[in-house]
A and B are shown apart, each in its own frame.
Chain A
Amino acid sequence: MGETFILEHLWYFIVGFSLIAYVILDGFDLGVGMLHLFTRKDEEKRIFLNAIGPVWDGNEVWLVVFGGALFAGFPDAYATLFSGFYDLAMIFLAVLIFRAVAIEFRSKQKSFVWRCLWDTVFSLASFGIAMGSGLVLGNLITGVPLDSAHNFSLSIKNLCTPYPILVGFLAVSLLVMHGSIYLVMKTEGELHDKIRRWSLRCMFLFAFFYFITTCATLIYLPFMADRMREFPLAGLLAVAAFCFFSWIPRLFSQERDGFAFIASCLGIASLLGLFGLGTYPYLVRSSQGLEENSLTLYNAASSLLTLKVLLIVVLIGIPLVIGYGIYIYRTFRGKVRIGPSSY
């Protein structure tokens, strides 16, 4: 095991870590966004918005870090993925912009039409981001038609095959559940009880997709379990994911909402861990010549010096980020109150 080997793996973990951080953190923003249309009252909608108001911006930055980390550590994978999924990437960017703008502008005018319009945009954009991420992850599992120069091109039509769509719905149901638990934490009174009932329904929906996706993966894409056959200990991750998710309803019935949210976060982390475990060592799996054409963390990585510099950046930066991230979440902890500077 050389230095290069260790640094490449370390950087693989860092990219994975930023993806997990993004899905956990922006995930509840997206969940709240998707639930946004299910409440009628304007006041409740504003509570929804302000539950994520001060933090969603910081959460979205994890996507930037993920993009930056991928660009820095594995430039080949970054270039291949974004140019290959060109159409989807452009739509993804459009919905990201629309979500940001909807949050920012929705409460700036009192007009009913104005608010209705932005509410719809906010909700649909959140759905689009979740669904789009699921589609990409699904395609990365099934593989893409990567040629020997590491190029591929998939139009929207071609990337919407059954398995990726299933992963898309899994992502949507997971994030809706995640968001609803977050809202339960941030609300009180009648609204709190209402969302609590929603949350239970979301859990059933997620359990359904979780079951189907697991079965489909094991039957049609058995290589996803290869690592577990090689190292049975890795199978613990699958057990962990199952335990975390089945723990949520139990904690929920005991009204330990905070812990339920933590369990949901850990569940998401294990699920993405399983994705990494199943696709390792491939970053982009080629459906046309797995061995020769695929991008792995070895052939896509940056030079040793860059990886070292990046590691220093991350070692200094990430503790700072986590430190003041915690401070900011503490500042805005507790139930949502609407004030003059609220959305």
Chain B
Amino acid sequence: MDAVTLSRIQFALTSSFHYIYPPLSMGLALMLVVIEGMYMKTKNVFYKQMAQFWTKIFGLTFALGVATGLVQLFGFGTNWARYSRFVGDVFGSTLAAEGVFAFFLEAGFIGIMLFGWDRVRPKIHYLSTILVTIGAHFSAVWIVIANSWMQTPSGYTIVGEGSEARAVVTDFWAMIFNPSAIDRLTHVILGCWLAGIFLLLSVCAYYLLKKRHMSFAYTGMKIGLVSAAIVLVLQLVSADSTARGVAKNQPAKLAAIEGIYKTKPYTPMGIVGFVDPKQEEVKGITMPGLLSFLVYRNPETPVKGLEEFPREDWPNVPVVFQTYHMMIYMWGAMVMLVMLALYFWKKKRLEQAKWTLRGIVLSVMCPQIANQTGWATAEMGRQPWVVYGLLRTEHGTSVSVQASQVFSSILMLSAIYLLLFILFIYLLNHKIQQGPEGGEAPSEYRNIYPK
């Protein structure tokens, strides 16, 4: 394999692995703001213990997010030197802003969050939790803006030619608010919240099944289910807006994720199936007119097919078709589980609904898979461009780095990441088995059900 393919594999590896953790941190941070807020309001020590338990898990995901994030920052320079030179003027400023505004907020106040329970007053601790949460979201803002610029570049001009070409910022705000930035940012943040919320739900469902820490588990369930229901609805709205943005700004990408080769009215949307790239059609169940309706609010209007774009500008259609649909299935699975759980909750039979609870225990994977496949769709759908329409991926790598070097670093990073993942699961499980302090107190947990 050549250095380009290997560098792409390495980037896929490091970013997918990195992206397990920041969403968990962001979602858990949001939950902690809610839980600690309830402690501030009620002064009930129960909520404090709950917050302390989740803070510990937050600390774990945060540490892994930082450790793997460093690889991301320097990965642009090591493997994508030509890309870094090309976008440095644009990308650098958002990265620097991320460092200054976001990381310091997070990394500074996490010390107080983790170690400051007895050092500072409760209000200051709560403030620290809020600041860490804001910091975590800030970093998402900058990095997604930078990535969105790669999808829909704006506010720039190209200086120089050939290998000397550089994108130079001409309008800072047009660069920040590039056409896809807001949609994608909303979509990403909601996805992150779901990751954290479903970790909370999963742990609580596990305790309910094992009949441990019952009051803790019920309270967590209540907070988690309500948040999940709200966020899942919001995500649907955001997904709609994002997809219409893709239709407008990156039509080739939309055509690829639905396997649309020919432009014709009543453009269908695939429900389940696969793309046959030879015959250029989708095999399986499709819904005629649905894509046209979703994009243009009219089932008749044709959606542009891939035939309108030069073949060398097509992404890998079968792959993005599957990743995109996987993301949607995961959303569907989450909606079903939350609806079931809410139903049993209403009937006051949640504890007996073993299969629903088991499903929720496993559901921690749903937002993770959705986040991963969603990003895969976004990034692979942008191919063969690294900066859409401006710089091809194959022209973005480092000249001075050989394939053998990248191969070695992939081996090294895979080994390290595997180790990290095993440690993460081991320690997470350890913490879950330990449970929250005082969570076993025989309180009247049934009163937690809504009257």
Q: Chain A contact residues: over half helix, strand or loop, or mixed?
A: helix
List of B residues within 8 angstroms of A57 by Cβ: 63, 66, 107, 110-111
Q: Please give, as numbers and ranges, the residues of chain A lying within 8 Å of B432 by CB-CB distance.
A: none
B405 within 8 A of A: yes
B371-413 contacts to A, CB under 8 A, are 398-402, 405, 408-409, 412-413
On chain A, the residues within 8 Å of B116 by CB distance are 54, 331-332
Could you tell me the distance in whole angstroms from the C-beta of A128 to the nearest C-beta in chain B?
14
A94 to B68, CA, bound (A): 10
How distant is the Cα of A63 from the Cα of B67 in the complex, in angstroms? 12
The count of residues in chain B whose C-beta lies closer than 8 Å to any C-beta of chain A is 73
A236 interfacial by beta-carbon distance below 8 Å: no
Closest chain A residue, CB of each to CB of B417? A97
CA distance A295 to B160 in the complex (A): 18
Contact of A289 with B by CB under 8 A: no
**Contact assessment for B78 and A83 in the assembled complex, using a CB-CB cutoff below 8 Å:** yes
Chief secondary structure at chain B's binding surface:
helix
**Residues of chain A in range 81-99 having any CB-CB distance to chain B below 8 Å:** 81-84, 86-87, 89-90, 93-94, 96-98
Contacts A69-B96, A71-B88, A100-B66; A108 near B430 (Cβ below 8 A): yes
Q: Mark B91-114, 1 if CB is under 8 A from A, else 0.
A: 111011111110111011111101
User: Which residue of chain B is the closest to A97 with respect to CB atoms?
Assistant: B67
Give A320 to B134 CA distance when docked, in angstroms. 15
Q: Is B79 an interface residue (CB 8 A)?
A: yes
Whether, in the assembled complex, B89 has its beta carbon less than 8 Å from a beta carbon of chain A, the answer is yes
Q: How far is the CA of A72 from the CA of B172 in the complex (A)?
A: 14
B63 touches A76 (CB 8 A): no
Binds A, one of B162-170, B282-290, B295-303, B358-366: B162-170
Bound complex: CA A74 to CA B68 (Å):
24
Size of the A side of the interface (Cβ < 8 Å), in residues, is 64
A78 interface contact, C-beta 8 A: yes
**Given A57-B110, A86-B401, A87-B405, A75–B74 Cβ distance below 8 Å?**
no
Closest A residue by C-beta to B171: A305
- Given A83-B77, A325-B108, A64-B405 contact (CB < 8 Å): no
Given A72-B88, A79-B77, A94 contacting B95 (CB threshold 8 A) = no
Query: Which B residues are in CB contact (< 8 Å) with A302?
Result: 88-89, 92-93
B114–A54 touching, CB < 8 Å: yes
A76 to B169, CA, bound (A): 16
Report the nearest B residue to A82, measured CB to CB: B77
**Is A328 touching B108 in the complex (CB atoms < 8 A)?**
yes
Residue of A nearest to B100 (CB): A317
Q: Which of B117-125, B245-253, B269-277 contacts A (4 or more CB under 8 A)?
A: B117-125
B107 to chain A, nearest CB (A): 4
Is residue A101 contacting chain B, with contact meaning CB distance below 8 A? yes
Query: Which segment, of A35-43, A163-171, A187-195, A307-315, faces chain B?
Result: A307-315
Could you mark each residue 131-165 of chain A with 1 if its beta carbon is under 8 Å from any beta carbon of chain B, else 0? 00000000000000000010111000000000000
How far, in whole Å, are A212 and B274 apart by their CA atoms in the complex? 68
Q: Is the CB of A328 within 8 A of B111?
A: yes
For the complex, give the distance between the alpha carbons of A325 and B103 in Å: 12
Q: Which residue of A lies closest to B69 (CB)?
A: A64
A108 and B399 form a contact (CB under 8 A): no
Decide yes or no whether B319 CB sits under 8 A from chain A. Answer: no
Q: Would you list which residues of chain A between 21 and 66 have a CB under 8 Å from chain B? A: 53-55, 57-58, 60-61, 63-65
Do residues B400 and A152 form an inter-chain contact, with CB atoms below 8 A?
yes
Residues of A within 8 A of B87 (CB): 75
- Bound-state CA distance A152–B170 (Å) is 31
**A249 touches B (CB below 8 Å):** no
Name the one of A82, A101, A306, A339 contacting B63, with C-beta atoms under 8 angstroms. A101
Point out residues on A near B: beta carbons under 8 Å.
53-55, 57-58, 60-61, 63-65, 67-69, 71-73, 75-76, 78-84, 86-87, 89-90, 93-94, 96-98, 100-101, 104-105, 108-109, 149, 151-153, 302-303, 305-306, 309-310, 313-314, 317-318, 320-321, 324-325, 328, 331-332, 339, 341-342
| 9 A–B contacts from the bound complex (CB under 8 Å) | A64-B99, A71-B77, A83-B79, A89-B74, A302-B89, A306-B92, A324-B105, A325-B108, A332-B111
Which 7 pairs from chain A and chain B are nearest by CB? A75-B88, A82-B77, A72-B92, A54-B111, A317-B100, A83-B398, A79-B81
